[in-house]
Amino acid sequence: MQSLLSTLADYDPGLLAIIAHRWDVDLEAGDPRDAAERLSGVMLDPARAAAEWNRLADNERGALQTVLGTPGHRMAEAQFSRLFGEIRQMGPGRREREKPHLNPVSVAETLYFRGLLAVGFGQGRTGRQAFVYVPTDLAAVLPVHETGYDLVDEEPVARTSTGAFEPDAVFPATTMLVDDMTTLLSYLRIEQVPSERDELLGQVNDALTPYWLGEPDRGRVALLVSLAGSMGLAASEEGIFRPVPSHARHWLEQSRPRQVRALAEAWRDSTLFNDLWHTPGLQIEDTGWRNDPLLARQTILTFLEMVPPEDWWPRDELIAIVHEEEPDFQRPAADYDSWYIRDAQTGAPLRGFENWEQVDGAVLRFILTGPMHWLGLLDLGDEGTLCRLTVYGRALGGETEWPDPPEESEPPVIQPDGAILVGRTCNRYERFQVARITEWGPVDAPYIYTLSGAAFQHAQQQGIDADAIRAFLRRISEDNVPESVYRLLDRWTQGGSASVWMTRTVILRAKTEEDLQLILDTPELRRYLGARLGPKAVLVRADQEQELAHAIQDHGISIAFDD
C-alpha cells in the first residue's frame, strides 16, 4: 500500500490540520505538500508514534491491530466497517460544518481522523474495491507489541490437539465417484443424451438412479456431469453429449488414485459446476447475475491449512472463522443485494449481510459435506458436524504427495448363462467396454452385466461384431469363457433369438469376514473363486465346488453344504 507521505499528500488542508492537531504539530499556511512532509516526519518518529499508540483505547488498538495483522496491512472497507463502523467521506465544506472529528460515529472514524488509518482503492480478489489500510512505513514504527489485544497470535478454534474430537458415528469418504463416472460415460456411449443442460441432467437422473454406487443426490449427479465436461471426458456433438474417445479412455485406464486426483483437481478448477446453485435450502433465481464458483473453493482450501491434518475438527467452527476473517469471500465488492436467492422452504428473499449464515455459510457447509466428501477428500462424523481430511484431501491442499500405490485388478467373471460379474477393482475401461455389449443389472457388489440377444444387436449397431466380442471376453477373463457363452454368440450370429437361460451358481459363505479373507489370501484356495458378493460371500467358479471343498478341508477348515 501507499507510504504515509503519499497518503497525506492526497488530503486537503482541512483534513491535514485535523490530523496535525491530534499529533500536536503546527502546520504553517502554505504549500500542502510541505505540510504533508512536515506532518509525515513527525508521525514517523518512533517516540511520537509510541506516544500516540499509548493514547489509544483498547478497542481502538484492537481495530488497528486487526488491519496490521492482514497481508499488506490492508482490509476490505466493507468487511472492516462491519466490525468497527463506517468512515464517513466528506468534502471540506461539509466537514467544516459538521466537524465529525469532534464526534466520530465509530472506532474506524476515530482512527481515520488521527491519521492512523486511511482509505484507498486497489485490486482485490473480486475486482477493484475500497480498502482501509495503515501506510507501510507508519506500520513499521507503531509499537504493536505493547498491547494485550493481540488478534494476530490468537490460535484458531479449529486447531485442536490430537483426539480432542471423536465422533460417535463416522461416514468415511469413498472413491465411488470414480465408479459412477465410469457408469455415466458408459451410458453416454450407448444412449443419445441431449447436451442441453436441463435435459441432460433430467435424463441422466431418471435413467441412472438405479445404477449409481454412491448416493443418488441430484447435486452429486450434476457434479459428475460437470466434471465430465470440464475434464473433456465428454462433449457436445451435434446436440448430443458424448464421450470423447481418446480423453475418456485415457482417464478410464488410469489407476484409481490418479482418477481421484483428476476428478478433485477438475472440481477445484471447474467453472461448469457452481456449488452455490446446488446448495440445499437455497432457491436460486436466474435473473442474469453470476457468481464466481472458484472463489468459495479457494477460500475453503486456504482455510483448511489451519485444521489438524489428520484429526477431527468442527465444521461450523471453521465456517465461523471464515465469517470473522473473510466474510466477503464470494461477493464482489461486498455486494449482498444483487443476488436473487430465496429460502427454498419459505420463499423468503435472502438479501443483506444478515443472511450470511443462510447463504454464504450454507455454501461452505455444502462444499465440505457434499463435493469434498463425494470426491474422497473429507471423512464426515456425526452427520457432518465433524470433518477429517483424508490422504487425498491433504494432497489436494499440498500437505502431502498424492498417493499412487499399485492397484491389483481382478478380472471379470463370466458365468455360463452369459452373466458377467465385474468388481470395483476391475480396470474401469474394461467395465466401460463390457457395458457397451450387455444389459445392465441392478447395482451390487460386483456389477452384474448380462449378454443377451438385444444387447448383441445393440453392439452390432455400434459396429461390434461377434468375433470382436469373443476376443474381448477371452482377454478380460484371462481366457476363462464358458463354452456355453460361445454357443450363445454363435446362435445370435446365425440369427437365432435369445431364450430363457438358467444355470446353477455356487456361493461360498463364511461365518466372519476374517474367515473369508483367510481363504482369499490363500493362493491354493483363491484359484477356485470368482468375484466377491459381499464381506462374507464369494462366487465359486463353474464346476469347481468339489475341488474347492477338498482343498479347504486339506487346509484344516471345516465346510458344510446347504441342502
488: confidence class by pLDDT, cuts 50, 70, 90? confident
**pLDDT of the residue at 148:** 33
What is the value of pTM for the model shown? 0.66
How many Cβ atoms are within 10 Å of 318's Cβ, its own excluded? 22
Task: Kindly state the average pLDDT of the residues 411-419.
Answer: 90
505: confidence class by pLDDT, cuts 50, 70, 90? confident
**pLDDT of the residue at 193:** 95
Give the pLDDT confidence of 154-201 residue by residue, as tens digits: 333 333 333 468 898 999 999 999 999 999 999 999 999 999 999 999
Report the run of H or E that residue 532 belongs to, with start and end: strand 529-534
Cα–Cα distance measured from residue 336 to residue 540, given in angstroms and rounded to the nearest whole number: 62
Cα–Cα distance measured from residue 279 to residue 94, given in angstroms and rounded to the nearest whole number: 46
Question: Are 171 and 379 in contact, with CB atoms under 8 Å apart?
Answer: yes
Under 8 Å CB-to-CB from 420, ≥6 apart: which residues?
412, 413, 414, 434, 438, 448, 449, 450, 451
CA 364-370-373 angle, 5° bins: 110
Bridge partners for 131 per DSSP: 76, 120
pLDDT at 499 over 60: no
33: confidence class by pLDDT, cuts 50, 70, 90? confident
State yes or no: cis peptide before 46, omega within 30 of 0.
no
Cα–Cα distance measured from residue 132 to residue 4, given in angstroms and rounded to the nearest whole number: 13
Cα–Cα distance measured from residue 291 to residue 338, given in angstroms and rounded to the nearest whole number: 11
**pLDDT of the residue at 56:** 86
Give the pLDDT confidence of 2-11 residue by residue, as tens digits: 898 998 888 8
C-alpha cell at 209: 438412479
Q: Write the DSSP symbol of residue 75.
A: E
Q: Starting at the edge strand that comes first in sequence, how are the strands of the sheet with 529-534 ordered?
A: 507-509, 537-540, 529-534
**pLDDT of the residue at 185:** 98
Grid coordinates 466372519 are at which residue?
512
Q: Write the DSSP symbol of residue 349.
A: B
Cα–Cα distance measured from residue 468 to residue 437, given in angstroms and rounded to the nearest whole number: 11
- Most confident listed range (84-88, 304-308, 431-435, 539-543): 431-435
Cα–Cα distance measured from residue 17 to residue 429, given in angstroms and rounded to the nearest whole number: 76
Comparing 363 with 530, which gets the higher pLDDT? Answer: 363
pLDDT at 231 over 90: yes
Give the pLDDT confidence of 280-289 residue by residue, as tens digits: 999 999 888 9
Rounded to 5 degrees, φ, ψ at 478 are 60, 45
pLDDT at 42 over 60: yes
Task: Kindly state the average pLDDT of the residues 446-475.
Answer: 88
Most distant CA pair in the chain, distance? 111
Cα Rg of the chain, angstroms = 33
**To the nearest whole number, what is the mean pLDDT of the chain?**
87
123: confidence class by pLDDT, cuts 50, 70, 90? low
C-alpha cell at 103: 464526534
pLDDT at 421 over 80: yes
Give the pLDDT confidence of 125-153 residue by residue, as tens digits: 555 678 889 999 998 988 876 533 332 33
Instruction: Give the C-alpha distances (Å, rounded to integers) separating 259 from 273, 301, 367, 376, 529.
Output: 18, 20, 20, 11, 28
pLDDT at 230 over 80: yes
Task: Kindly state the average pLDDT of the residues 27-52.
Answer: 85
Comparing 492 with 427, which gets the higher pLDDT? Answer: 427
Task: Please report, rounded to a whole number, the percentage of residues in the chain having pLDDT higher than 90.
Answer: 46
**pLDDT of the residue at 91:** 87
pLDDT at 38 over 60: yes
The packing angle between helices 245-252 and 428-436, to 10°, is 130
344: confidence class by pLDDT, cuts 50, 70, 90? very high
Comparing 148 with 345, which gets the higher pLDDT? Answer: 345
Cα–Cα distance measured from residue 454 to residue 498, given in angstroms and rounded to the nearest whole number: 8
Task: Kindly state the average pLDDT of the residues 93-121.
Answer: 89
Cα–Cα distance measured from residue 288 to residue 290, given in angstroms and rounded to the nearest whole number: 6
Task: Kindly state the average pLDDT of the residues 210-217.
Answer: 91
Task: Kindly state the average pLDDT of the residues 474-490.
Answer: 90
Closest CA to 541 of 551, 552, 526: 526
121: confidence class by pLDDT, cuts 50, 70, 90? confident
How many Cβ atoms are within 10 Å of 139's Cβ, its own excluded? 19
**pLDDT of the residue at 492:** 83
Question: Are 327 and 335 in contact, with CB atoms under 8 Å apart?
Answer: no
